[in-house]
Structure 1
Amino acid sequence: MSRSGFRRAAVSLAAVAVIAGAAGCQGSSSNGGGGGKKAGSGGVAAVSPIAALRAAEKKTEGASSAKVDGTMVMGSAMSTTMSGALGWADGVTGTMDMRYTGGTMADAMKQAGGDGAVKARYLSDAYYANLGDALAAQTGGKHWIRYGYADLSKLMGASGDVMKDQMQNATPDKGVKALLASGDVKKVGEEKVRGVLATHYSGTVDVAKLTEKTTALSPDKLSAFKEQLSKAGVTTEKVDIWVDKNDLLVKKSESGQLKTGAFNSTVFYSDYGTAASAEAPPASDTVDFTKLMKQQAGAS
Structure 2
Amino acid sequence: MTGRTRRGRVLLGALLLAGAAGCTGAGDPAPQATERRTATAQPAAVAALRAAERATGRAGSARVESSTALGTDVSMTSAGTLAWDGGLTGALTITYTGGSIAETMRALGTTSMQARYLPDAYYARMGDAFAAKAGGRHWIRYAWDDLAGLGGASGAYLAEQIREAAPQQAVKLVLAAGDVRRVAVETVRGERTTRYRGTARAAEVTDPGLRERLRRAGVTEQTVDVWVDGEGLLVKKVEQDRTATGRVTQTCFYGDYGVRVSVAPPPPGDTQDFKDLMTPGPAAS
TM range (shorter): 0.7 to 0.9
Query: In structure 1, how many angstroms separate the alpha carbons of the residues matched to 2:7 and 2:71?
Result: 21
Query: In structure 1, how many angstroms separate the alpha carbons of the residues matched to 2:147 and 2:174?
Result: 27
Deviation at 1:124, TM superposition (A): 1.2
The equivalent position to 1:70 in structure 2, one of 48, 66, 69, is 66
Task: Within 5 Å, give how 1:191-210 maps onto structure 2.
Answer: 191-207=186-202, 209-210=204-205
| 1:237-266 Cα shifts (integer Å, max 9, x gaps) | 210000000000000000134565531111
- Alpha-carbon distance change, 121 to 228 in structure 1, aligned in 2, over 3 angstroms: closer
| 1:146-180 Cα shifts (integer Å, max 9, x gaps) | 11111223435798788777756753111111111
Task: Within 5 Å, give how 1:164-243 maps onto structure 2.
Answer: 171-207=166-202, 209-210=204-205, 213-214=208-209, 226=215, 229=218, 234-243=219-228
Q: Verify: 1:299 aligned to 2:277, yes or no.
A: no
Deviation at 1:112, TM superposition (A): 2.3
Equivalent residues of 1:72, 1:265 under 8 A apart: yes
Deviation at 1:13, TM superposition (A): 2.7
What fraction of aligned residue pairs are identical, expressed as a percent? Answer: 43
Residue-pair matches, total: 268
Q: Verify: 1:15 aligned to 2:16, yes or no.
A: yes
Structure 2 SS opposite 1:235: strand
Query: In structure 1, how many angstroms separate the alpha carbons of the residues matched to 2:242 and 2:131?
Result: 34
Q: Which residue is 2:93 aligned to? A: 97
Q: Which residue is 1:42 aligned to? A: none
Query: In structure 1, how many angstroms separate the alpha carbons of the residues matched to 2:75 and 2:92?
Result: 16
Equivalent residues of 1:73, 1:265 under 8 A apart: yes
Read off the aligned partner of 1:141 and give its amino acid letter: G
Unaligned runs of 5+ in 2: 26-39
Q: Which residue is 1:53 aligned to? A: 49
Q: Which residue is 1:85 aligned to? A: 81
Q: Which residue is 2:133 aligned to? A: 138
Pick the structure with more helix per residue: 1
Q: Which residue is 2:114 aligned to? A: 119
Q: Structure 1 stretches (4+) deviating beyond 6 angstroms?
A: 157-166
Structure 2 SS opposite 1:177: helix
Equivalent residues of 1:66, 1:274 under 8 A apart: yes
Q: Which residue is 1:267 aligned to? A: 252
- Alpha-carbon distance change, 249 to 93 in structure 1, aligned in 2, over 3 angstroms: same
| 1:91-117 Cα shifts (integer Å, max 9, x gaps) | 210100001111111010122232x20
Q: Which residue is 1:276 aligned to? A: 261
Read off the aligned partner of 2:146 and give its amino acid letter: D
Unaligned runs of 5+ in 1: 25-33, 38-47
Query: In structure 1, how many angstroms separate the alpha carbons of the residues matched to 2:206 and 2:138?
Result: 35
Query: In structure 1, how many angstroms separate the alpha carbons of the residues matched to 2:151 and 2:21?
Result: 16
Structure 1 SS opposite 2:78: strand
Equivalent residues of 2:157, 2:217 under 8 A apart: no
Read off the aligned partner of 1:20 and give its amino acid letter: A
Equivalent residues of 1:91, 1:169 under 8 A apart: no
Query: In structure 2, how many angstroms separate the alpha carbons of the residues matched to 1:159 and 1:77?
Result: 11
Query: In structure 2, how many angstroms separate the alpha carbons of the residues matched to 1:211 and 1:277?
Result: 37
Q: Please, what is the CA RMSD of the aligned residues?
A: 2.9
Equivalent residues of 2:22, 2:64 under 8 A apart: no
Q: Which residue is 1:36 aligned to? A: 42
Structure 1 SS opposite 2:150: helix
Read off the aligned partner of 2:275 and give its amino acid letter: T
- Alpha-carbon distance change, 148 to 295 in structure 1, aligned in 2, over 3 angstroms: same
Read off the aligned partner of 2:14 and give its amino acid letter: L
The equivalent position to 2:142 in structure 1, one of 147, 151, 175, is 147
Read off the aligned partner of 2:145 and give its amino acid letter: A
Query: In structure 1, how many angstroms separate the alpha carbons of the residues matched to 2:262 and 2:172?
Result: 25
Query: In structure 2, how many angstroms separate the alpha carbons of the residues matched to 1:101 and 1:160?
Result: 20
Deviation at 1:271, TM superposition (A): 0.2
Read off the aligned partner of 1:122 and give its amino acid letter: Y
Equivalent residues of 2:224, 2:238 under 8 A apart: yes
Query: In structure 2, how many angstroms separate the alpha carbons of the residues matched to 1:123 and 1:70?
Result: 20
Structure 2 SS opposite 1:128: strand
